[in-house]
Amino acid sequence: MMLLGVVLHTALSFIEGSPSGDWMYRDPSRSPIAGLLTLSIHVFRMPVFFVMAGIFAALIWRRSGAWGLAKNRMRRIALPLIVGWCVLFPLIKWTVVWGITVMQPEQDLPKMAGWTLLMVMNPWSDPNLVHLWFLYQLLLLCGAAIVLCGVHALLPERVRSACSAAITGVLIGRARWVRVPLLVAVSWWLLMKSSSPGIDTSTSLLPPRHVIALYGLCFFMGWMLFTTPGALGALRSWAWLRLSAGVIALLLAVVGSIGWYASRSALQADATAPMRGSANALVVAQFGSALAMWLLAFGAIGVAERLFTRPHKWIRAACDSSYWVYLVHLPICMAIAILLRSWDVAAMVKMSAVIALTYFVCVASYAGARAVVAR
C-alpha cells in the first residue's frame, strides 16, 4: 500500500484538466489512464493500509503490552512524523513553486525569478501535514487503542467474555455472514459525508469526524482479526472469490466516480443542469467504494495467507524499504516529473519513467541511510 502511493502521486501530474489546489503541477503530456489509476488506487489503498496497521498494532500489543505498543509507536511513527515533516515540508513547498514557475513560461520573468522566490519565501508558512497525515491519524488511533485496552482490562470478566464471544461470532461464528454487509453499510454511511467520491483526505490536525471514524473502523477491524483466534486463517476460504468481487466493486466505484465528475463539469458549464445525476453518481461511487475496500482487504489478506506461508527475502526487503520510500518520495517524484517536462513522449511512457526513477532514487537513499546508521 505504501508503494502504491508513489504511483498515485506521480499519476496526479499526468491527469487531464487544470491544476487544482490539491496538486498544482501538470505535465504537458496527459492521459485519462492516469485519472483512472488515481481514482482506483484512492478507493482502497488507505482503508486496506489501516486494516493492516490494526493487525500489526495488535501484534505488538500482544507481544509487548500497552506500554510496549506506546514506545514502539513513538519510535516508529511519532519520530518519523516530526523529523520527516520538518525536512520534507519545505522541500515539497519549494518543489511546488518550481513546478508552478515552469508551467508559466509566457510570463516575462527573469530566468532565475522562480529560484529566487524559492529561496526567499518562508518554507514553513501555511503548515499542513502533507502526505504524512496518515502517520498522525495512525498515532491517534493507536492512542485510542491503548486507552481501550486499559478500559477492557478494568471490565468484569463476564463482560469481557461476552464481548469476546460477540466479536468471535461475527468474525468466524454463525453470524459471520453479517460481517461484510455491516461493514459496508457503516462505511457507505461515512463515505456519503465526503465532499467527493472516495474518502476525503485531511492534512489537518483536526481531521473530520467521518474520516477518522472510517479509518478507525478499518484499524480496529484489523485489531480484532488478529486478536480473535482463527479469524485471519478463516480469510483463506473464498479468498480469491472475495478478491475478484472486490475488483468488480472497484470498477463500480470508478464508473460512479466518473459519472460524478462528469455531472459536476456539466453543472459548471450550465448552472441550470439538474443535480440529480451528480447525487445518484455519488451514491453509486460511494457504495462501490465501501464494498470494494472490504472485499479487497479481506481478499488480499486471505490470498496472502494462502501464498506466503514461508519467509521470502525479496518481500521482506520490499516491506522494509516501503515505509522509507513513501516518506521521502513526494518531492522526488514531483522534481523528476518537472525535470522530464520537455521530454516529448506519450504520457504513460513518461509517467512510467518517473515512477521507476522515483523508486530507484528512494531505494538508493534508503540503502545509503541504512549504511550510515550501520556505521
At 108 the pLDDT is 47
Domain assignment present for residue 25? The answer is no
Quick one: cell of 9? 502521486
Question: What is the amino acid identity at position 247?
Answer: V
Q: Is 342 a member of any domain?
A: no
Q: Is residue 173 part of a domain?
A: yes
Query: Any long-range contacts for 320-325 (C-beta under 8 Å, 24+ apart)?
Result: 321/362, 321/363, 321/366, 322/2, 322/3, 323/2, 323/80, 324/362, 324/365, 324/366, 324/369, 325/2, 325/3, 325/6, 325/359, 325/362, 325/363, 325/366
For residue 187, give its domain range. Answer: 31-307
Positive or negative, the CA dihedral 336, 133, 80, 371 is: negative
Which amino acid type is present at position 243?
L
Tell me 140's DSSP state.
H
- Report if residue 374 sits inside a domain: no
pTM of the predicted structure, to 2 decimals: 0.91
Q: Which three cell numbers stand for residue 345?
A: 513522449
286 located within any domain = yes
Q: Does residue 233 sit within a domain? A: yes
pLDDT tens per residue, the chain (375 residues)? 778 899 999 999 999 877 766 788 899 999 999 999 999 999 999 999 999 999 999 999 999 999 999 999 999 999 999 999 999 998 998 888 888 888 876 544 555 455 556 555 677 777 889 999 999 999 999 999 999 998 988 889 999 899 999 999 999 988 889 999 999 999 999 999 998 899 998 888 999 999 999 999 999 999 999 999 999 999 999 999 999 999 999 999 999 999 998 887 776 665 555 556 678 899 999 999 999 999 999 999 999 888 877 777 777 777 778 899 999 999 999 999 999 999 999 999 999 999 999 999 999 999 888 887 766
3-state DSSP call for residue 42?
Answer: helix
Check if the beta carbon of residue 19 is closer than 8 Å to that of residue 99. no
CA dihedral 183, 186, 192, 196 (to 10 degrees): -40
DSSP-H helix ranges across the chain: 4-11, 32-73, 79-102, 113-120, 133-154, 157-171, 179-191, 209-227, 231-234, 239-269, 276-307, 313-339, 347-374
* Cα radius of gyration rounded to whole Å, the chain: 22
Task: Please count the structural domains in the chain.
Answer: 1
In a domain, residue 182? The reply is yes
Q: Is residue 338 part of a domain?
A: no
